[in-house]
């Protein structure tokens, strides 16, 4: 895949003015919404009612990242809310294939996330059930962390398996994505990039998105040649 997608994370946005913050990233490919429950990760953010309101006012599609326990029970409700993409953690799902199929049946793209220390190999046989594989490049739970280069070999292995299968599964990376690190992640095989601080910490978030997209696209094109 050579299309570079930038999905800014509202974890770095001003939560008091979310509607205005969404308008500041209208050139994004999607809005990355981090849902944390203080159980699966040691942080608490927002739940389904708030996500539903974000969905109602967002100028771009919503990409939910559910860092929550009991994903099999709760994830389908986010698909029912009309979100474009719903990603659950493999470590929090009892029946990931069944859950992925249920998300798709309810109209959302199905994504599955892996913590930095979770190997990708046990899940390669279910790639056909997914639209996106999210490889965390930091430990989930908090924004502003530094990119973990140790995750690059896993991204490469996932890309090799996806390309070998001929299945159009996107590889998303989340954590520490900046203009400096996006090229390394893209060279390894990622094509969807979550950026929080790099976008909302900039004076002009839309310009920051354009710069990230350009940097990622150049690397993806070079890798494809």
> Hey, which residues are catalytic here?
34, 174
Nearest to 142 by CA among 220, 56, 67: 67
Query: 75: part of which helix (H) or strand (E)?
Result: helix 71-80
- What letter does residue 164 receive in the DSSP assignment? H
Q: How many residues does the chain have?
A: 225
Q: How many C-beta atoms surround the C-beta of residue 184 within 10 A? A: 18
Nearest to 29 by CA among 212, 162, 225, 219: 212
Alpha carbon distance 12, 96 (integer Å): 29
Tokens representing 201? 């910490």
Angle at which helix 71-80 crosses helix 96-105, to 10 degrees, equals 10
Nearest to 167 by CA among 109, 126, 198: 126
| Torsion sign over Cα 99, 42, 178, 135 | negative
């Amino acid at each position: 895949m050579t299309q570079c997608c930038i999905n800014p994370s509202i974890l770095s946005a001003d939560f008091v003015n979310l509607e205005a913050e969404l308008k500041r990233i209208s050139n994004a490919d999607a809005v990355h919404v981090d849902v944390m429950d203080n159980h699966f990760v040691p942080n608490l953010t927002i739940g389904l009612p708030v996500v539903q309101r974000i969905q109602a006012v967002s100028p771009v599609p919503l990409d939910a990242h559910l860092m929550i326990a009991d994903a099999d029970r709760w994830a389908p409700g986010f698909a029912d809310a009309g979100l474009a993409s719903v990603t659950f953690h493999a470590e929090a799902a009892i029946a990931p294939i069944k859950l992925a199929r249920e998300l798709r049946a309810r109209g959302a793209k199905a994504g599955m996330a892996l913590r930095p220390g979770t190997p990708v190999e046990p899940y390669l046989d279910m790639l056909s059930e997914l639209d996106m594989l999210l490889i965390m490049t930091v430990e989930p739970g908090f924004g502003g962390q530094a990119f973990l280069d140790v995750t690059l070999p896993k991204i490469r292995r996932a890309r090799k398996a996806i390309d070998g299968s001929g299945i159009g599964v996107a590889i998303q990376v989340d954590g520490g994505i900046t203009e400096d690190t996006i090229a390394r992640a893209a060279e390894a095989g990622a094509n969807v990039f979550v950026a929080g601080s790099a976008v909302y910490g900039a004076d002009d978030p839309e310009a920051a998105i354009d710069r990230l997209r350009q940097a990622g696209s150049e690397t993806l094109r070079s890798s494809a040649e």
